[in-house]
């Protein structure tokens, strides 16, 4: 809708930084949201990345725009909603036949498209791992299946109690059957207002969330359980731990208090091992 009408007939070598900046400003001026503009810029930048790799152009003119100079919009940050264990349990109980899916999303942190694309053969019951290999993107009533985000298949750990629920879910299904839904067709994303997920949220009396919010919950529960940043990053499929730290910086605020408390304990232990410090008595002065 936004890239092809403007750039579809333009040779990649004719794309200029000024042209991209003006295009970004025009979309914003026409009322496009920051998310829409950034996605459109991302599409163009991805095309030009291929052009650079193929030697068609030397530099990608859609990269490096500075939001501080208003060359592209800044996407407003939304405060993440994190559910606790009891809230997840209530939500799962109210989700009916989708109970196991709720638990997988909340404790494994995979994306919706990755979850509905899981097949029985992707579940390793012995090692308690999910092999995230496919991602099913809904296009209207159909789905397009591709690689996970960042094109990196990954293994995701599964808690014992979630694996027990998965075993029940997979009972009677073949290796190539989908785990969720009817086994043959990809489970469609629930309607945002009157779908089964929204209904479960209301009945469970938890803060209003979307299925993607459960990914944030998985990060929160993992970090609060003591998982290190690298492990959480691998579980979520982030490109590197920096993305995890940037996305969930608020979850690490309490770690500052933990660091100071740990240093205090270490200091006390060190002092106790050395014993009390002796003060040498000064010789008395002659009368």
Are 92 and 102 contacting, i.e. CB atoms less than 8 angstroms apart?
yes
At 189 the pLDDT is 93
Mean of pLDDT values over 254-269: 71
Q: So what CATH class is 85-246?
A: mainly alpha
Whether 256 shows a pLDDT value over 60: the answer reads no
For 239, the token pair is 């490109």
Mean of pLDDT values over 92-115: 97
- Residue 276 has what DSSP assignment? S
Mean of pLDDT values over 183-209: 94
- Residue 12 has what DSSP assignment? G
At 152 the pLDDT is 77
Looking at the DSSP bridge assignments, the partners of residue 139 are 142
DSSP letters of 33-90?
-HHHHHHHHHHHHHHHHHHHHTTS-SS-TTS---GGGTSS--PPPPPPP---HHHHHH
For 17, the token pair is 């930084």
Label residue 75 by pLDDT band (50, 70, 90).
Answer: confident
The Cβ-side half-sphere exposure at 3, using a 13 Å CA radius, reads 16
Q: Where are the beta strands (DSSP E) in the chain?
A: 123-124, 129-132, 135-139, 142-146, 154-157
Residues ≥6 apart with Cβ < 8 Å to 112: 105, 189, 211, 212
Among the residue ranges 174-178, 191-195, 250-254, the one predicted with the least confidence is: 250-254
What is the average pLDDT value for the chain, to the nearest integer? 89
Whether 106 shows a pLDDT value over 60: the answer reads yes
Percent of the chain with pLDDT over 90: 66
Domain ranges of the chain: 4-69, 85-246
Phi and psi at 281, nearest 5°, equal -75, 135
Are 167 and 130 contacting, i.e. CB atoms less than 8 angstroms apart?
no
3-state class of 205 per DSSP? coil
Label residue 26 by pLDDT band (50, 70, 90).
Answer: very high
Q: What is the pLDDT of residues 148-173, one digit of tens each?
A: 876 678 999 999 999 999 999 999 99
At 280 the pLDDT is 62
Cα dihedral 101→102→107→111 (10° resolution): 70
> Does the predicted model carry a pTM greater than 0.85?
no
Are 196 and 96 contacting, i.e. CB atoms less than 8 angstroms apart?
yes
């Amino acid at each position: 809708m936004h890239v092809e009408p403007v750039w579809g007939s333009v040779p990649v070598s004719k794309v200029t930084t000024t042209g991209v900046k003006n295009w970004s400003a025009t979309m914003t001026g026409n009322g496009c949201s920051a998310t829409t503009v950034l996605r459109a810029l991302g599409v163009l930048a991805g095309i030009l990345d291929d052009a650079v790799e193929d030697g068609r152009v030397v530099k990608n003119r859609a990269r490096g725009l500075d939001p501080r100079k208003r060359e592209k919009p800044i996407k407003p940050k939304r405060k993440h909603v994190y559910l606790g264990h009891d809230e997840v349990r209530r939500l799962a109980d109210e989700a009916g036949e989708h109970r196991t899916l709720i638990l997988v999303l909340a404790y494994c942190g995979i994306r919706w498209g990755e979850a509905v694309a899981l097949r029985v053969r992707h579940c390793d019951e012995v090692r308690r791992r999910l092999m995230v290999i496919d991602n099913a993107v809904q296009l209207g009533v159909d789905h397009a299946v591709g690689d996970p985000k960042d094109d990196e298949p990954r293994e995701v750990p599964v808690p014992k109690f979630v694996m027990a629920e998965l075993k029940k879910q997979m009972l009677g299904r073949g290796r190539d059957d989908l785990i969720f839904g009817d086994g043959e067709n990809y489970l469609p994303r629930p309607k945002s207002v009157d779908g089964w997920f929204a209904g479960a949220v209301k009945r469970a009396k938890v803060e209003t969330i979307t299925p993607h919010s459960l990914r944030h919950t998985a990060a929160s529960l993992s970090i609060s359980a003591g998982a290190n940043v690298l492990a959480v990053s691998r579980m979520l499929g982030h490109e590197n731990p920096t993305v995890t730290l940037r996305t969930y910086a608020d979850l690490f605020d309490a770690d500052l208090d933990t660091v100071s408390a740990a240093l205090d304990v270490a200091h006390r232990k060190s002092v106790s091992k050395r014993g009390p410090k002796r003060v040498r008595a000064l010789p008395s002065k002659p009368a």
